[in-house]
Amino acid sequence: MTTTPASPIDLFASALHIHPDGDLRAGERRMTSSDSGAWQIATFHVATDSDVHADHWEVHPEAEEAVCCLTGGVRVCFRPTTPGGAEDVVRLRAGTAVIVPRGRWHRLELDAPSDLMTITLRHGTRHEKRATTR
């Protein structure tokens, strides 16, 4: 067994990747699909809607996603499940989270500059431009 000295990891500059075999590594944040099989824990400083893809829908077909608001405030908007329906919106304040169901299209809008954390399996992640913006 090799022992290496522990050192701090800047969670706002990299992500944590949890692999199926239990291996845990710090590495590059991936916002698109990854075939690594690893779950990603990523943390972000966000100041504007453009920082959180407010004009794009996102879906994770392989797993749920936890969206966690550490500071500030954010709205998680869910695409309507029926044509012409209204978006479902969950408002998060500091210290709260929502679990986005597997396969559910969603996007974020900020109420205030925030620190966010997301946890999901990126495999199969897709983005789609929102047809209309506010």
CATH superfamily for 15-129 is Jelly Rolls (2.60.120.10)
Q: What is the pLDDT of residues 78-118, one digit of tens each?
A: 999 888 899 999 999 999 999 999 999 999 999 999 999 99
SS3 category, 87:
coil
Interacting residues of 77 by C-beta distance below 8 A, sequence separation 6+: 87, 88, 89, 106, 107, 108, 109
Q: What is the pLDDT of residues 21-68, one digit of tens each?
A: 999 999 998 877 777 889 999 999 999 999 998 999 999 999 999 999
Q: What is the pLDDT of residues 103-113, one digit of tens each?
A: 999 999 999 99
Compute the distance between CA of residue 106 and CA of residue 55 in angstroms, rounded to an integer.
11
Compute the distance between CA of residue 22 and CA of residue 121 in angstroms, rounded to an integer.
14
